[in-house]
Amino acid sequence: MRRLPHIIPALLSGILLGLTTIGNGPFYHVHWAIFFGFVPLWATWLGERSVRTIFWSGWVCQFVFTLIAFHWLAYTVNEFSHMGLAFSTLVLLFYCAIANLQFPLAGVAWHYLFHRDTVPAWLKVTSLALLTALFQRMGTMIFHWNFGYAWLYMGWPGMQLADIAGFRWLCTVSILLNAAVLLTWFSRKETHWWKPAAIGLGTFALLNLLGWVHERGLPAADSVAKVLLIQPNIGNRAKEKLDHGEENFREVILLKYIAQTEVALHALASPPDFAIWPENAFPSAIADKNLTFGIAPLLGDFLRRNRLALLTGSFGIENDQITNSLFSLNQKGTWSSTPYNKIYLLPFGEYVPFSDTFPKLKEWLPDVRDYGRGAGPLLLESGGMQIGPQICYEGLFDSVARDLANLGAQLIVNVTNDSWYGHWMEPWQHFYITMAKAVENRRPLLRATNTGLSGVILANGKILEMSPPATEWHGYYEVPYLKKPRPTVFMGWGYWIDWVFLACALLACLAARLRKPRV
């Protein structure tokens, strides 16, 4: 009971921060809580002397936050393991226990560095925000997520500055604005109570003004790509329930893609430059350039018949291992360029972590696939355009899109299968995190998924039509792009701006902390 006053603010912060997560449906306007969600938790920490209480209240906050924001993990575990709701719930609870330990660890670090009676309130609060932002960059989740993506989701003009310092810097700004709110609250009875509020509101307004001006200075596109996206909505259970042998099963899947694409093509006034099928759409390996093995001739005939170029997910082979790959096929039904093999594999979905050191793990987890990794990033060619390929999970890493843009990609294409994650929150989270890379690198990004969400975002951050989830759908887009896109600041040294800012600001706080007070 003595700890109850600390648990209630921790629960409140966890709920507020959890509801800011993209894809939370009716809680759309709660995304503003990225600017004050930490305040209840931090307010109790300022008067707390026990490091143990700080850690556990921070742990409760991160547990509640993770449970609200990523509860879809239980569905995913069940889809992969088929071991039932009880097992999946236990996995979710374990994940919630460790996924965002940066929250309490930041509090512990702050306690030892800045929690002294001689430290002024502004320095305590500012250093706490900076340490939280720093630890946020070193989070323990299996994919890269941060509060900055809410700027894109909400359409705030400040998101345009992500091509300078990235969405992680906008995450840092968001956390620092929590400090302005907290300082305003603590100084509410003082004469100059309004100063922290003015600084916070002024910062937010200035960033949005700069973003608005920055967008209007972007170069105009000089080319247009005509693209057809195909979303077949083939669910996991639907595949398993088909009453066919393995080879017939693969043919049925391929024929569904072909039929849906031909219907879409016949409805178009002019042919697209290329079509995009999602991850693993072609349900077999494409083993040779001329598509002569297995059911690949069916695909080649379809492309020649419709004079269609196609980017499709499929399986490849590299170093005698099956790979998760993306192929560029031309109107002649042959490879346009060397296929791309996925580099960043999904842990426990596409490989077993640490199995190279402990081979026994593969025997314990026989249902986990064991894909080979690609040799590195490369570009695909289609219709004379340079395409930067990503496959599913890779869209969550800003380094992948940066590497492709630095190689000269004019467009970025992401193919995904999100059917393992349900239709509630994860598809929206995955969509916006992936699409954010278009703003950071100023390249249009085209995303084709199996069950949704599919769509296109332009280089200026404008999101075009999104597909509905869990629906058979196709979309035709005319995508403006630059033949010779300029490199963004973020593609070079701008990636380090947030690190440098946090390091310099924390060093300044430490210097202020160590400065002897005047007598």
Segments of 35-170 assigned E as strands: none
How far CA 22 is from CA of 18, 32, 173, 244, 430, in Å, comes to 9, 12, 18, 39, 9
Please state, in angstroms and rounded to a whole number, the distance separating the CA atoms of residues 131 and 297.
57
Please state, in angstroms and rounded to a whole number, the distance separating the CA atoms of residues 453 and 468.
6
- Note if 472 is an active site residue: no
Q: Are 382 and 311 in contact (CB under 8 A)?
A: yes
- Note if 509 is an active site residue: no
Strand partners, 324: 315
Give the chain's radius of gyration (CA, Å).
25
Q: What are phi and psi of 337, to 5 degrees?
A: -160, 170
10 Å Cβ neighbour count for 70? 23
Q: Do strands 274-276 and 223-231 pair parallel, antiparallel, or not at all (unpaired)?
A: parallel
Nearest to 136 by CA among 178, 94, 91: 178
Would you state the torsion angle of the CA atoms of residues 319, 322, 323, 324, taken in this order, to the nearest 10 degrees? 170
Would you state the torsion angle of the CA atoms of residues 21, 23, 27, 28, taken in this order, to the nearest 10 degrees? 90
Please state, in angstroms and rounded to a whole number, the distance separating the CA atoms of residues 291 and 298.
9
Please state, in angstroms and rounded to a whole number, the distance separating the CA atoms of residues 381 and 225.
13
Strand partners, 391: 415
Residue 207 tokens, joined: 């960033």
Nearest to 436 by CA among 401, 467, 483, 469: 401
- Note if 516 is an active site residue: no
Q: Are 170 and 449 in contact (CB under 8 A)?
A: no
10 Å CB burial of residue 204 (0-12, 13-18, 19+) is: middle
Please state, in angstroms and rounded to a whole number, the distance separating the CA atoms of residues 8 and 16.
12
Q: Please, which residues have CB within 8 angstroms of residue 175's CB and are 6 or more apart in sequence?
A: 38, 129, 132, 133, 136, 147
Q: Are 513 and 128 in contact (CB under 8 A)?
A: no
The active-site residue, picked from 61, 96, 171, 279, is 279
Please state, in angstroms and rounded to a whole number, the distance separating the CA atoms of residues 101 and 63.
9
Strand partners, 310: 275, 329
Please state, in angstroms and rounded to a whole number, the distance separating the CA atoms of residues 307 and 101.
53
Strand partners, 329: 310, 335
The active-site residue, picked from 61, 392, 394, 509, is 392
How far CA 26 is from CA of 73, 425, 464, in Å, comes to 20, 12, 22
Residue 486 tokens, joined: 């300029």
Q: Which residues are catalytic?
A: 279, 342, 392
